[in-house]
Each structure stands twice: as C-alpha cells, then as structure tokens.
A = this chain, B = another copy of it.
Amino acid sequence: MPAPPVGVQGAGADARPVETLSPVQVIVLGLLRLGGPATPYDLKQRVAGSVGNFWSVPHSQLYSEPDRLAERGLVSVERELGGRRRKSFSITDAGRQALDRWVASPPTDLGELRTPALLAVFFGSDPVEIAATQLPLHEAKLAEYEQLIAAGRAADPGAPAGPLLTIH
C-alpha cells in the first residue's frame, strides 16, 4: 500500500469523541471497580496481587494516571486533610461506562511475549538448560496462583470469574 506521508490530522467526519483508554487506565479503573475506592498505594498492592503477574505497572504511573482520569471525570478524588494528605479514588458512573465500553470491544491485536528466556533460546542458548532454570520460577508462580484461586473461591462463589480465568 502506497501510504502517503500522511502529515495532517483527521479531516475525518469528527474529531475523537470516544475516550480511548490506555491499558494502564483500564487497569486502574478495573481495579477500582473490583476492590472499591483506593489510594495509589493501595492500587500498587492490588496490581501486584493480580494483573501485575502479566502486566506490570511502574508505581509512579499509579500516582499520575488516576489524576488524569479524574480530569476526565472517570474517577472522583477525595483528599485527606492532615498527615500524608493522601488521595483516595473512586470510580464514577462515567468511569464504569467507559470501562464497560472498552471491555466490550478491546483492541484486537495480539500482544507480545517479552521474555528474555525466549530471546536467549532464539539466539542459541540451550533450550533444556533454560527450561531448567525457568521451571522453579514457574512453579513458584503456580503455587501463588493456586493460593489465589483457593482464596478467591472461599471469598465469594458469585464473584466475577474473569480474574480467575486469566490464570488458566
């Protein structure tokens, strides 16, 4: 396809009314909905205990993104007056809708598998050896997962199944 340099922006029918969500924003909204109001620090822990397993988020992002979402009205803020002056974020109805919309039609690309181990194999490491060193790590993860599943089941049989499904 002879794609021209394409300098100019959309002369299209309309600008971009649809608020697209970045993956990190989806995570923030989703975690707020699943676990209720939270401070950035709380979010950090929630991420570590859930999506962090396959999608890490630098903690500084968990301090800046919620503010950005607040400007869009997708979350609301409440700030402590004294002490640490921390902010607590809650998802708004608008936020829930935006999240639902994203979930209803997520990006259709198939992501990446950024595993150093794969790189190593690709460039000549002994696959068996790599597998051997990777194995304990995966086993550790697996143990974690099983704990999560147990905990999840005990907690609430009627809860959304998504989080557990992603474990496989």
A residues neighboring B (CB under 8 Å): 23, 26-27, 30, 33-34, 50-51, 54-56, 99, 102-104, 106-125, 127, 130, 133-134, 137-138, 141, 160, 162-163, 165-166
Pick the contact of A116: B111, B115, B125 (CB < 8 A): B111
Contact partners of A109 in chain B: CB under 8 A: 116, 137
CA distance A115 to B138 in the complex (A): 19
CA distance A23 to B26 in the complex (A): 27
Identity of the chain B residue whose Cβ is nearest the Cβ of A108 in the assembled complex: B133
Interface of A is mostly: helix
A141 near B54 with CB under 8 A, answer: no
Contact partners of A30 in chain B: CB under 8 A: 119, 122-124
Copies of this chain in the oligomer: 2
A26 near B115 with CB under 8 A, answer: no
- With A56-B112, A112-B114 in contact, is A119–B165 under 8 Å at CB? no
A125 near B111 with CB under 8 A, answer: no
CA distance A92 to B96 in the complex (A): 55
List 15 extra interface pairs beyond A30-B122, A102-B120, A110-B115, CB under 8 A: A26-B119, A50-B122, A51-B119, A55-B114, A103-B125, A106-B119, A106-B120, A108-B133, A108-B134, A108-B137, A109-B116, A110-B134, A110-B138, A112-B114, A112-B115
CA distance A143 to B124 in the complex (A): 24
Q: What are 29 A-B contacts with C-beta separation under 8 Å?
A: A26-B119, A51-B122, A54-B114, A54-B118, A55-B113, A56-B112, A102-B120, A103-B123, A103-B125, A106-B116, A106-B117, A107-B116, A108-B134, A108-B137, A109-B116, A109-B137, A110-B117, A110-B134, A110-B141, A111-B115, A112-B114, A112-B115, A113-B113, A118-B166, A121-B165, A121-B166, A122-B163, A125-B162, A127-B162
